Amino acid sequence: MPQTEHIEKHFEAPVVIRDIVIGLADGLTVPFALAAGLSGSVSVTELVVIAGLAEIAAGSIAMGLGGYLAARTDREHYFSELARERREIVELPERERQEVADILREWGMPEENVQGAVNAISQDPERWVHFMMKFELGLEEPEPKRARNSSLTIGLSYIFGGLIPLAPYFFTANTRLALVISAVVTLIALFVFGFVKGRFTGTNPVKGAFQTMLVGGLAATVAYLVAAWIG
């Protein structure tokens, strides 16, 4: 039991952090790039603000509600596989015992211990089913609140991230000036975000900072060139 808690803790933090990272990374990048792109072919900031806020609304719903439904689908998938394993240990007990034995052998269990361990595991149907779920299929039960939390975390992170590059366009009618301020503020925000993300995920923070800035900068540059080329 303490082992299970340990494993769950090990997985819990990355899920929340990953959700914030997903929302913030896209929220900082796409509205920034869209606003930069439009600045290249539109002369009033009002249009950039309209397009930017429409994008933030669309993006946060697509990502948040999308995240909610994806997490719910994961959970449904887990329970449909669980029901199938429950049927299989009743209908095909010998094949399922054989699968347990194969897994134990692969782990290097000495042949003389295999049958005893298979007997012990298959004696308790619930333990047997969860053994198959975890080690044959690699599935663990997704947390029930994850779908809703994931949705809110991703959506709000996207909105928060998206308002940073858009803010300068609220305060001036000059798209060129707004673009310069937006680029400076957003590249700094991407750098800080990438640095913090690197620390959380245990990778090199400085490398993470430059990588995140690269994605945002490249997206904005290409969006600018595309818009300038048509507009």
CB of 91 to its own copies, least distance (A): 19
How far is it, in rounded angstroms, from Cα 75 to Cα 142? 6
Q: Are 185 and 168 in contact (CB under 8 A)?
A: yes
CB of 167 to its own copies, least distance (A): 15
How many C-beta neighbours within 10 Å does residue 135 have? Answer: 15
What amino acid occupies position 122? S
CB of 127 to its own copies, least distance (A): 5
Which CB atom, from 49 or from 156, has the smaller least distance to its own copies?
A: 49
- The C-alpha torsion from 215 through 220 and 226 to 227, rounded to 10°, is 160
Which CB atom, from 195 or from 224, has the smaller least distance to its own copies?
A: 224
CB of 177 to its own copies, least distance (A): 19
Question: Which tokens sit at 74?
Answer: 């994961």
Which CB atom, from 8 or from 188, has the smaller least distance to its own copies?
A: 8
CB of 210 to its own copies, least distance (A): 11
CB of 145 to its own copies, least distance (A): 19
